[in-house]
Amino acid sequence: MLRLYDYLPSGNGYKVRLLLSHLEIPFELVELDIVKGETRTPEFLAKNPNGKIPVLETEDGRCLPESNAILWYLAEGTPFVPADRWGRAEALRWMFFEQYSHEPYVAVARFMLMHLDEELPPEQALLLAEKQERGYAALTVMERHLAAQAWFAGGAYSIADIALYAYTHVAAEGGFDLTPFGAIRGWLARVATQPGHVAITQR
């Protein structure tokens, strides 16, 4: 059976849990507490030298880190990867966008608000404001795309949507107000009605 090393509140881990649910693939969930440094033990560093979840461990003991690489591995040959060359390139485009222009801001703002003290020291508050400004910029890019198209790649729900959904649907926990982002809100609702959808809180 596949084994997923994960941390329940992680959007990166949730991407994998969501796809596994869509694909109806059973897996063993091994939860590690990233706040307690459980991804930095010698045992886990042997699985991912970068010390981060999610990591997918295959039945034969191979370990694959990086959420979007795991999505690609699991989705290959399924309808969750666009069938045509352009659609696949579009999927990669949005998955790279997610990692470079979205996750470092939307997810990190959420992490700061979830895990740091309620009263942020001034330098942390400034850092949070910077993350939020850049996060809003990423949300604006998504909003423009979704104003014209229902999905991110290949004209159908795909791993590009899953990658972007993971942290966008909990953006409020990072202090983001999605009220002005009508197209994003419509897309979030469409994603949540896909067969096999599970919540980020579901084990």
Which residues would be at the binding site for ligand GSH (CB under 6 A)? 7, 10, 12, 34, 39-40, 51-54, 66-68, 99
- CB 157 → ligand GSH: shortest distance, Å? 20
Cβ atoms of 103 and 135 closer than 8 Å: no
Closest Cα to residue 166, out of 6, 3, 35?
6
**Residue among 37 and 180 whose Cβ is closer to ligand GSH:** 37
- CB 84 → ligand GSH: shortest distance, Å? 25
Q: Is 71 exposed, middle or buried (0-12, 13-18, 19+ CB in 10 A)?
A: buried
**Residue among 56 and 184 whose Cβ is closer to ligand GSH:** 56
Spatial CB neighbours of 155, under 8 Å, sequence gap ≥ 6: 82, 87, 149
**Residue among 64 and 153 whose Cβ is closer to ligand GSH:** 64
**Residue among 142 and 170 whose Cβ is closer to ligand GSH:** 170
Cβ atoms of 44 and 51 closer than 8 Å: yes
Structure tokens at 184: 């994003």
> Chain-centre distance of CA 177, in angstroms?
19
- CB 109 → ligand GSH: shortest distance, Å? 13
**Residue among 111 and 176 whose Cβ is closer to ligand GSH:** 111
For residues 30 and 45, give the distance between their C-alpha atoms in angstroms, rounded to a whole number: 15
- CB 70 → ligand GSH: shortest distance, Å? 8
- CB 52 → ligand GSH: shortest distance, Å? 3
